[in-house]
Structure 1
Amino acid sequence: MQKSFQRLIVVSLLMGTLILGACDSPKRPQSDSSSSTPTAASTPAPASNTNQFPGLPRLNGKATVVMTVRGNKQITIELDGNNAPISAGNFVDLVQKGFYNGLSFHRVVRQPQPFVVQGGDPKGNGTGGYVPTGSSTERRIPLEIKPKGAAAPVYGQTITDVPELQHKRGTIAMARSQSPDSASSQFYFTLADIAFLDGNYAVFGKITNGLDIIDTIQQGDKITSAKVTQGIENLKK
């Protein structure tokens, strides 16, 4: 009973940390404790394609990004546009634009247990996102989760089904606020298997080389560069 209660406290703290990773408002949230954990909804019928989001880039297939951090340490990331075309496409598009170059990892959570390394905020404080040139508002992408065995992802809702892409150690996923469709540019790497996030956040790829490097990243460390090395032809705008 006591162990279950302690785990509940840990989960609540960690979820509060993550859910504030990308904010609806440019104002900094008052505290992590003000946020609640996402509530899983029953799975609706999946969308047949991504044409309902015509203004967003998408990845039709896979792509590889090499991210250099902490000076010259390289992480190779495989992006999965087959199962998360919009989330992966948004990330590849931002990498291609050079958006992530020089940005810092503003949140690193290893206590009370390994959790996430989070970055991609141009403001560096957890409240920012990508604002396209000529626009005054952030580009937002919908929550995108494909149930295992489904023909297409579910958009805009959390799911209770087992997702095709799960939060295993070394996966990359989109950070967001409480609103399902509030993700923009912030992403996180998982430092451990974190099953309780499955169905609540959009996983869109995994680290295939340099997994040990994420264990060395500290808060404030910068992304030296990020480059698409394979699959750029699969990016559709």
Structure 2
Amino acid sequence: MDAREKILEAATTLLAGSPVADVSTRAVCEAAGVGAPMLYRLFGDKAGLLAAVVDRGFEEYLVTKRAARPSDDPVADLRRGWDNHLRFALEHPHHYRLMYSPELTAPPAATREAHDLLHSILERCAAAGRLTVPPALATQMIMSANVGASLSILTRPEQYPDPGFSARLRDAVLGAVTCPADPDNAPEPDPDQAVPMAAATLAARLRAERPAAFTAAESALLEQWLDKLGTDRPLGDPGPPVAEPVPTDRR
């Protein structure tokens, strides 16, 4: 086992026994049998070490996410993803709390990959016409609710004794961002979201099935335009003001 693995193994073991989901670099160095300069050379600082510990522990969860076969129902995949996320949090409470700790000045790679995997499912929902908001916004809404519920259950279990709480919150959040597959049962769309949603849906379909009539450059340009339209900004909102050019003295 090389020095990096020794340090990660020691930090993981110490983390498992920590009631506050934290470890000191001194304790890690002593447990790993290495000097502080070695730790800082490999990980930069304590935040870098903790991020590496999180990535190592979260890899088990990400392996199952990467290997998951998409079903014919992307909304059902969202439900399973939510439940798997909570299950991982409950089975690995120390890693999970550390993952979202303010101690980490930069998010671990694992959080970014989990975010991207969720977004890919929501792209499928958009391509199927099952989203009521653009995929990027839906990703933020679902991830923040899923993480918030998981942390709440972990840190304040006495306040969340109902075992059905997470499922009810899941259904409420997914119900707010998705619509039924049957158009006759779909709710009336928000008029302000009509153009953004049409653009987001078309962009997702283009990414899923590249049109043979377009060159790669044409497809990229069209996607760029659609992505600009597929925001959650209300129709007619010009967006942030553009700074006026500073007049120059022509004399």
TM-score by length of 2: 0.27
Bigger strand fraction: 1
- Bigger Rg, which one: 2
TM-score by length of 1: 0.28
Bigger helix fraction: 2
Q: RCO (CA 8 Å, sep 6+): is it higher in 1 or 2?
A: 1
